[in-house]
Amino acid sequence: MKNTYAVLGAGMQGTSAAYDLAQFSEAQTIFMGDASLEQASRSADRVNGLVRRQVCKPAQVDALDPESLLPFLEPAEVVLSCVPYWMHPKVAPIAIAAKTSMLDMGGDTRVSMRTLALDDEAKQNGVTIVPDTGLAPGLVNNLAAYILESFDQTDEVHLYCGGLPQHPKPPFNYKLVFNIEGLTTEYMDQATVVRNGKIQMVDTLEELEELEVDRLGKMEAFTTSGGTSTAPHTFVDKVKVYEYKTIRYPGHCERMKIFKDFGFWGRDAIPTRSGVVKPLDMFHALMSERLKDPEDRDLVVVRAVGLGNKKGKPARLQMDILEFHDPKTKFTAMERLTGSSTAIYAAEIASGHMPKGCLRYETAMPGAKFVAELRRRGVEIKETESAGNRDSATA
């Protein structure tokens, strides 16, 4: 059946992606799958109510059980994997067997590489697989692709993104808008960047810099892992610099670095008076709820800066997005940008505009087309082009 999708994981981002497909991509049927039938039904009812038609059908499915997953995937052209990031490489072989194309929201580049390794199998079964189609990695790297398409030659690409509370509260000035395991992974692992035309690994929670953001004022940005995904490897021969940093309210980096430096994110179990415990597990248990603030609404800020040459002259292009919680649909800013990014790619696959096989996100779709699709969804993207300045990446 044409324009038939499956959403695996009926949580926050999965529900938003389903809404986007129903609202903007003429989806005929969307199968909402979750381990909890109750959750799948709630999400399906929510989307159906928003679009005022019965497009979503709930289903109970175990993402890790092939006998449960295969029949769920077989009727769909494309599945959006919105489950925890470590499950994606387990879902991909079943999607290939079902001859259902797949994309996921990413979360760990090493995990994504395992999915990309299934290229031969995907081609044999005539499906398209694209990992890392979320926000960062995901949307930010497509802004980078847009910049590369805009210049005759691109020297540097600097990417920034942050999901934040609208009303920050000390001491962390932060609102958890996704799984806490993803947050600590970003803060702990090394970041992959391009420096001096070569791939390099840099430590996270380092290289602190100040940014001025419209409507927010002075913000800080620092190195985190995962945001670039495979893009540095894709663009290393085209740019001298390609890097990503996370945006937060001032002071956040210093406070979180205390946990990192003093062993609170250790993965090895240690003895305590009450028993053996892994410090990282304890941190997750203590902080996952404390970093949430259900009374505050969120915002997402994205910035992409490119330096290069255009028509024989040095040029600088800056792209800014400031997205807020939507009071009409009740989707958070993080849900909207992550869900829309993934849904845009799902619709592109369904329309037959992507080749078969496992594709790197940043090469699977032209940046200009992606940006046009974001704007069609009402996302405001401010472009500022000026004469190039090698010291102006963070202006």
SS3 (DSSP) at 168: coil
For 361-381, how does the pLDDT look when each residue is reduced to its tens digit (9 = 90+)? 999 999 999 999 999 999 999
Residue 157 counted as domain residue: yes
- Residue 164 shares a structural domain with residue 84: no
Residue 308 counted as domain residue: yes
Upstream peptide bond of 137 is cis (omega within 30 degrees of 0): yes
Upstream peptide bond of 171 is cis (omega within 30 degrees of 0): yes
Q: Which two tokens stand for residue 68?
A: 């449960």
Residue 227 counted as domain residue: yes
Question: Residues 80, 14: contact at Cβ < 8 Å?
Answer: yes
31 burial via Cβ count (<10 Å: 0-12, 13-18, 19+): buried
For 129-159, how does the pLDDT look when each residue is reduced to its tens digit (9 = 90+)? 999 999 999 999 999 999 999 999 999 999 9
- Residue 286 shares a structural domain with residue 172: yes
Give me the pLDDT at residue 391, please. 52
What is the count of structural domains for the chain?
A: 2
For residue 1, what pLDDT band results from cuts at 50, 70 and 90?
low
- Residue 121 shares a structural domain with residue 150: no
- Residue 161 shares a structural domain with residue 281: yes
**Alpha carbon separation from 187 to 97, 177, 255 (Å, rounded):** 36, 15, 12
Amino acid at 223: T
Residue 109 CA to residue 106 CA, distance in Å, equals: 7
Question: Is 0.95 surpassed by the pTM of this model?
Answer: no
CATH number at residue 78: 3.40.50.720
Q: Which domain holds residue 179?
A: 139-331+366-387
Residue 190 CA to residue 171 CA, distance in Å, equals: 25
Residue 110 counted as domain residue: yes
DSSP characters over 227-258: SSTTHHHHHTTT-SEEEEEEEE-TTHHHHHHH
DSSP characters over 74-130: TT-SEEEE-S-GGGHHHHHHHHHHTT-EEEE----HHHHHHHHTTHHHHHHTT-EEE
Question: Residues 353, 268: contact at Cβ < 8 Å?
Answer: no
Q: What is the total residue count of the chain?
A: 395
Amino acid at 10: A
For 153-205, how does the pLDDT look when each residue is reduced to its tens digit (9 = 90+)? 999 999 999 999 999 999 999 998 777 888 998 999 899 999 999 999 999 99
192 burial via Cβ count (<10 Å: 0-12, 13-18, 19+): buried
Residue 336 counted as domain residue: no
In 112-240, at which residue ranges do the beta strands (DSSP E only) sit?
128-130, 153-165, 191-195, 198-202, 209-213, 217-223
Residue 256 counted as domain residue: yes
Residue 163 CA to residue 299 CA, distance in Å, equals: 6
CATH number at residue 144: 3.30.360.10
Q: Which helix (H) or strand (E) holds 285?
A: helix 279-290
